[in-house]
A and B are shown apart, each in its own frame.
Chain A
Amino acid sequence: MGTDVKVISKKKPNASELLRSKLGKLELKTPLTVASGTFDMESLEFFDPACLGAFVCKTITRYPKKGNPPPRLYETEAGLLNSIGLQNPGLDAFVADKLPLYRQNLQMPLIVSISGSSIDEFMQMIEKLESCPGISGYEINISCPNVENEGIAFGVSAEIVYSLVQRLSSLTQRELCIKLSPNVSDIAEIAQAAEAGKASSIALINSVFGMAIDYRTGVSRIKKGIAGYTGIGIKPIALALTHKTAEAVKIPILAMGGIYTWQDALEFFWAGASAIAIGTANFVNPLAAPELIMGLGGYLLEHKLSISDIKGRVKI
């Protein structure tokens, strides 16, 4: 990426204008965010966070969650399997301990990711968070593949998504981004249900069901068996579902799934994304975020393009 870095350093003032983006109600300084659970305060020690347009925290639930038994991770030929199981300290501890830290240290919009086991629980969480300043929006995680009877149980039914989103949207003026699962038969239908319920944006995709087995012993590499698959292997899936969803809804899409580089990012803009997130890339290359933004800014400058010029204009 050496040549692109030079381009941006010559004409730095303009690149930041070209990188500006909107996600629903949010003005983003760059179109890049981080996938929930792959980036936290520790990660900010790697680079200047100015390359990020927003910060999405690890998903929290109403009550503390222990998480899944180990082993929780396995790196495959093309990406990573994880089975964390939404381990988190719960809403009250988040509000008391984490939120003040985020407010103090983040110079960008904070999107709080939440999951619940019932519509009421989701509503209780939003009600409590509404009383907390310093939050720009919510990511409604209805797509975690690693917990039963929570999250994904909602994300697979258009009717339930509609009633959930409708109730949540009446509770907040903040950005309301619904995170969808790829593990459904028709993602467009689910996205339309979220839009009808007045979601202000869609995030996709959460991880794909995946598995790995030790061929010698027959033992699953992940304790719980089926896990969530992320990283390079799911990029074509994420791209297809971004395209399909962009054709089906008007609200903006925050796309993710196997994005590592600025070239990957451009593909997702062509497919219809307004903003993108990197997840597994943060583990493989801790400097993936600043490198992506440098490369993207350089490319947009060189070709005199803005993201809106190519958004959704894939040629088929």
Chain B
Amino acid sequence: MNSSLYRQRAIQLREELSDDYFTLWIWDEALGAAGKPGQFYNVRALASLKNAQNSGKIPKLFKPISIFDNQGGRIGFMIKKVGEGTAALSKLRAGDMLELIGPNGNGFPIFRGKRILLVSGGIGYPPLWYLQKELINHNQIYWMHGGACQGDVFPSDEIWTEDGSIGRQGRVCSGMLENINKYDVDLIYSCGPLPMLASAAEISKSLNIEHYVSLESYMACGIGVCHGCAVPIGAKNDWEYLRVCKEGPVFNAEEVRWELM
């Protein structure tokens, strides 16, 4: 069944990346034209719904997955197996069906003529991949990516691992200041685990550099109805809970009330 928000689409291709990471590709020109970097879909394996219905059980919620790539109607979702929902997605092969709601949320603001630093951690990588494709022709970009170990490492300009198995050892934010100075950075985009984003936001704030973060949140509806994914956004003494799915997932890092997260 199809509606303006809900669709079922066949997986055209599945790619193995590393360890728990894989990419699922679908083909849909209309959806491709609608999507922007930073937006996400609520995704579920159709088999999860059908198996549950056939055995008289209730399926689990959709999972929010950001757009990893989107070109000419070829839409990619890079996914890390972390829980039950993504484990079900990890079993899918080409030809299997996905349920999709989206594209949801607001994308990253796009600029020209900037000296940009991208900072990603672990599964925060995918939305920045799509973003850099949109930015690359009009900006100078330096991309730092970090993870726990080499299994979390993907193509970028500078790699950090916590265990030192590859690249520089430590957390990716430790190298931010050095690169901001070296490349005279005037715009930052980031996506990754909350503590990483909070550290990155502190650095950009101290240097007064414009910085956009893409936040992750637990979601029930993904379309703005349930208010379950809300995060505190605004000035220090004048903030409100905004929905990651609707007003986000991209926010100005300075407006995120990190101390309340």
List B residues 193-228 near A (Cβ within 8 Å): 217-221, 223-228
Contact A73 B225 (CB under 8 A): no
Taking a contact as CB atoms closer than 8 A, the residue among B1, B6, B61, B232 that contacts A75 in the complex is B61
In this complex, how many residues of chain A approach chain B with their Cβ under 8 Å: the count is 35
B111 within 8 A of A: no
Contact B59 A285 (CB under 8 A): yes
Min Cβ gap A277→B in Å is: 14
In the complex, chain B residues whose CB is within 8 Å of the CB of A37: 225-227
- Chain B: number of interface residues, binned into ranges: 20 to 34
Residues 12-43 of B, flagged 1 when their CB comes within 8 A of A and 0 if not, give: 00000000000000000000000000000000
In the complex, chain A residues whose CB is within 8 Å of the CB of B62: 283
In the complex, chain B residues whose CB is within 8 Å of the CB of A260: 58
Q: A66-B240, A73-B228 are in contact. Are A46 and B60 (CB under 8 A)?
A: no
Contact A82 B220 (CB under 8 A): yes
A45 within 8 A of B: yes
Taking a contact as CB atoms closer than 8 A, the residue among A46, A82, A284 that contacts B58 in the complex is A284
Cα–Cα, bound, A75→B226 (Å): 14
In the complex, chain A residues whose CB is within 8 Å of the CB of B232: 69
Chain B's interface: helix, strand, loop or mixed, by majority?
A: loop
B110 within 8 A of A: no
Contact B61 A71 (CB under 8 A): no
Contact B230 A70 (CB under 8 A): yes
In the complex, chain A residues whose CB is within 8 Å of the CB of B224: 40, 42
Min Cβ gap A249→B in Å is: 30
Q: A75-B61, A84-B228, A87-B230 are in contact. Are A283 and B221 (CB under 8 A)?
A: yes
Contact A287 B1 (CB under 8 A): yes
Q: A42-B225, A78-B58 are in contact. Are A73 and B101 (CB under 8 A)?
A: no
In the complex, chain B residues whose CB is within 8 Å of the CB of A58: 227
Chain A's interface: helix, strand, loop or mixed, by majority?
A: loop
Cα–Cα, bound, A232→B59 (Å): 10
Chain B, Cβ-Cβ closest to A232:
B58
Contact B101 A84 (CB under 8 A): no
Cα–Cα, bound, A74→B58 (Å): 16
List B residues 206-261 near A (Cβ within 8 Å): 217-221, 223-232, 240-241, 260-261
Taking a contact as CB atoms closer than 8 A, the residue among A47, A74, A82 that contacts B226 in the complex is A82
A286 within 8 A of B: yes
Cα–Cα, bound, A211→B235 (Å): 32
Chain A, Cβ-Cβ closest to B228:
A73
Contact B225 A40 (CB under 8 A): yes
A22 within 8 A of B: no
In the complex, chain A residues whose CB is within 8 Å of the CB of B260: 69
Cα–Cα, bound, A45→B104 (Å): 13
Residues 263-300 of A, flagged 1 when their CB comes within 8 A of B and 0 if not, give: 00000000000000000101111110000000000000
| List of 3 A-B pairs having minimum Cβ-Cβ separation, nearest first | A73-B228, A283-B220, A42-B223
19 contacts between A and B (CB under 8 A): A37-B227, A38-B225, A38-B226, A67-B227, A67-B241, A70-B230, A70-B241, A72-B218, A73-B220, A73-B228, A82-B228, A84-B226, A84-B228, A84-B230, A87-B241, A231-B58, A280-B220, A284-B59, A286-B101
Measuring CB to CB, which residues of chain A are less than 8 angstroms from any residue of chain B? 1, 37-40, 42-43, 45-47, 58, 66-67, 69-75, 78, 80, 82, 84, 87, 231-232, 260, 280, 282-287
Known: A38-B225, A87-B241. 19 other contacts (CB 8 A): A42-B223, A42-B224, A42-B225, A43-B223, A45-B4, A45-B5, A46-B4, A70-B218, A72-B218, A72-B229, A72-B230, A73-B218, A73-B219, A73-B229, A75-B218, A84-B228, A84-B230, A280-B220, A283-B221
